[in-house]
Structure 1
Amino acid sequence: MTKRTLDEWLDYQLRVHPREIDLGLDRVRAVWQRMGAPNAPRSVIVGGTNGKGSTVAFLKAMLEAAGYRVGAYTSPHLLAYNERVRVDGADASDADLCAAFERIEHARGETELTYFEFGTLAALDLFARAGVDVALLEVGLGGRLDATNIVDADAAIVTTVDLDHQSWLGPDRDSIGAEKGGIARAGRPLIVGELDPPEALLATVHRVGARVQRNGVDYHVQDADDGWIWQHEDGTRLTLPNPALDASAQRTNAAAAIATLHALDGVLPCTEQELAQGVRAARVRGRLQRLAEAPELIVDVAHNLQAAGVLAQWLDEHPVDGPVHAVFGALDDKDVGNVYATLGNRIAHWHLASLTAETSRGLSAQACAFALPDTAEHDLYDDVGSALHAARRAAPARIVAFGSFFLVAAVLRRMNGDPPHMP
């Protein structure tokens, strides 16, 4: 029988389950156990509305600076599926992913798995086979019923809680927070990264019996000359450099990563120098990433209301001499009207791109325009490339290309000549 290519495997996974999302742990746990429950000796799970990928990047860089072998599982990808599974800083190869998928297919029998569940099992399988010291697992959706939660992680992080994916997680911050708190484990550290978490999150993790560590309560962040200070209530005080990752929220993400390793000091010890090195070294593509000058082109995966607020704050802190143009596209479950309202008059002209060719969930440019204020200057484009081309011709100072991961991926491909998007 001819072996499937990676593209063929991914297409198969999109077809083999009748639903793209099917939250629940019973099916994926059963297949995982048939595979021998592969896992790394240590693991950290990272959930939250925004900041998950950046927090994983900080953890990864800090642990690698300390000499640990690290596996990182993140989603979604931007340019190639292989980005989702990284071992020792390198993307998983097509061959390794295909071999893992074959093992999963053999183990699953008649059990249905989603695309994300296949990917989660593949990551756990490859981390175990590579013999990494620690696995970093980014939650895909929610937490309590997400496939990554089959692992009883040594520590968990909830970065932020805000409105997103309400049809799956609930209508308000409390219900969403309770779902995200489901990654907590009794007697193990649970780091809460934001200063004002919903009460239901705190109630959930305390009820579980997790060792809760809260930003602003158990540890604190403060400014310092040419950097910042991380301080714990136990007296630990660290002087750290500013992250290379831009936006003020990145200090919060780095602080949560440090709080996690501080709580695991007897398991995954890191020195102050190693933590500082990790803060400087962490990088994530598509997060306020500068791609060009004259005009400046910034890409950012700000795809929900909270992330739009972070982008708005960054624009206020980094003004330019001239109007800012936006290239924007979104998926059909996003509150684009409130995203526009959050950015407000910071954007002089909107270049709205249809994402219908990128994904069945993509909004058309016309649908995006429907929620714009009547006074907002805008143009509509059938695809991201056309919107970007027009913006680069029209914008005198700065372009911010933001919204869906699909939009950012399309901009990166056009600017960098990277490989085509994979399913």
Structure 2
Amino acid sequence: MPEGLYTLCVFSFLKFMATFSSLDAWLSHLETAHSIPIVMGLARINRVKELLGLTFPCPVFTVGGTNGKGSTCAMLEAILLASGYRVGVYTSPHLLKFNERARINGDTVNDDLLLQNFEAVEAARCSFDVPVSLTYFEFTTLAIMHLFATSAIDVVILEVGLGGRLDAVNIIDTDCAIITSIDVDHQEFLGDTREAIAIEKTGIFRIGKPAICGDPVPPETLIGEAKRIGADLWLFGRDFNYHGDKQQWNYVGRGMRRSALAYPALRGTNQLLNASAVLAALEAMRMVLPVSAQDIRLGLASVKLSGRFEVLPGSPSLVLDVAHNPHAAAVLSQNLDGMRYFPSTHAVFGAMADKDIKGVLHQLIHQVDHWYLCDLPILRAADTQHLETYLRAAGFVEDANHSVTHHASPEDAVSTALKLSGENDRIVIFGSFLTVAGVMRYQKLCHH
């Protein structure tokens, strides 16, 4: 739209527009402005996108998958930053502050920049005869995309929120898609089998564009959809792979090798799988975004990501992990096995009611001696009575060395766990992002 016409629209419909002076006020408004929090479909958001004239003049990576998306985005960002590119990254959800969802050149975006772009989206959606209703996620996704599109950025990384085909980030055609893993989660929106979920996730693939799959055992439907679409599918084990020992690892792609690489700074058994998918994506895009072996080494050494098998210093050991589905819980269990010996393991756990809670707990039931179940400040959360029912269904039995207690919040749960644990014990905080975020806030308060 010509700038003058857009300005006219803004003023013509100003009386219908919401406007707020703070980011918190905007977010509070958006949480209640749309009656349904999740609506699958791109028709409404595409109307506003077109009015905004939203396009990216730079390469775009879109990252989907059940687990590992955040780690993959973080490693890709770190390597590209080490290469000297100006990078925009959009991820969700956040842990402590909404601003975490948008980073430019490695820095979280400040409130003022976000407010400007919220107002641009509000003006656009209100310029129709009937204002377009957008969910919280759709509105904020558009605002951050608009920020990136109007900033001097060399490359954009977009993390899918839910699924792929009908997710808000899919309004942008990607130059390289990455699918990290495929497992059963969000069944009410995506289907209840890996095969059905794979079809939804391949919705981010594009004709003739690289499509990297880091899942070692991809459903046949993923391969079939990539072929049907005409995407350039890169499969782990066929088109790229990794080999390593305890000291270093090597990447082997279609036509490129990277040898003697240090392990990523992110902990966890699956991080080499994620890192190899990142290197495959960079190999596929090497003609437009060249990176050197040294850039890769620097990026992998410097990458940081909160709440993904994050071990905090001190005694007892605190382990933070946003594992909230059975696949992620199985990986967390493996990672806990790889740690040193602890006399007792305590767990703070809170989760959304729509998750496979029994499946999550089943993966960790033999790892944990003392459970601190917590309520979360959201209606979607499972209450602690339900959590205990799931815990017992997963096989938990109380005795002299095994206990379960109920707590009003993650902060209360971890406070009690710290009092009851020995200095050589460990406390694992996992489940919903809200569980981990509550403990992070508590830790910050304790250290001030």
Q: Do they fold alike, i.e. is TM over 0.5?
A: yes
Residue 371 of structure 1 and its aligned partner are, at CA, apart by 0.8
Percent of pairs with identical residues: 42
Is the partner of 2:391 in helix, strand or coil? coil
Is 2:255 the partner of 1:255?
A: no
CA distance in 1, matches of 2:60, 2:26: 27
1:235 and 1:102 map into 2 onto residues whose CA distance is 45
Q: Closer, same or farther in 2 for the Cα pair 1:395/1:40, shift >3 Å?
A: farther
Q: Which position in structure 2 is the counterpart of 1:57?
A: 74
**Cα–Cα, structure 1 residues 40 and 88, in superposed 2: closer, same or farther, change >3 Å?**
farther
User: Aligned equivalents of 1:40 and 1:352: distance in 2?
Assistant: 48
1:341 equivalent in structure 2: 362
Trace 1:219-258 onto structure 2 (pairs within 5 A): 219-224=240-245, 226-258=247-279
Q: Report the secondary structure of 1:298's partner residue.
A: strand
Of the three residues 80, 93, 101, the one matched with 2:118 is 101
Alignment check: 8 A CA contact 1:40 1:124 kept: no
Q: CA deviation at 1:225?
A: 5.3
Measure, in 1, the Cα distance between the counterparts of 2:23 and 2:380. 23
Higher RCO (C-alpha under 8 Å, 6+ residues apart): 1
**Unaligned 5+ residue runs, structure 1?**
419-423
- Aligned match of 2:24: 7
CA distance in 2 between counterparts of 1:361 and 1:235 reads 46
Alignment of 1:14-413 (within 5 A): 14-109=31-126, 110-224=131-245, 226-355=247-376, 358-373=377-392, 374-376=396-398, 377-396=403-422, 397-413=425-441
Tell me by how many angstroms 1:279 deviates. Answer: 1.1
Post-superposition shift, 1:236? Answer: 2.7
Distance 1:216 1:239 in 2: 19
The normalised TM-score by structure 2 is 0.90
Q: Is the 8 A contact 2:69 2:180 kept in 1?
A: yes
The C-alpha deviation readout for 1:89-118, integer Å capped at 9, x for no partner, is 111111111110110011012111111111
TM-score by length of 1: 0.96
Name the structure 2 match of 1:421.
Answer: none
Q: Give aligned pairs, total.
A: 416
Given that 1:40 and 1:127 are in contact with CA atoms closer than 8 Å, whether structure 2 keeps it comes out as no
SS of alignment partner, residue 112 of structure 2: helix
Q: For 1:351-410, what per-residue CA distance to the aligned partner results, in whole angstroms no more than 9, with x for missing partners? A: 11111xx21111111111111125143111111121111111122210001110001000
In 1, the alpha carbon distance for the partners of 2:345 and 2:125 equals 51
8 Å contact kept, 1:40–1:135 = no
Query: What is the CA distance between 1:231 and its match in structure 2?
Result: 0.6
Instruction: State the 4+ residue runs in structure 1 displaced beyond 6 angstroms.
Output: none
Q: Which moved more, 1:98-107 or 1:120-129?
A: 120-129
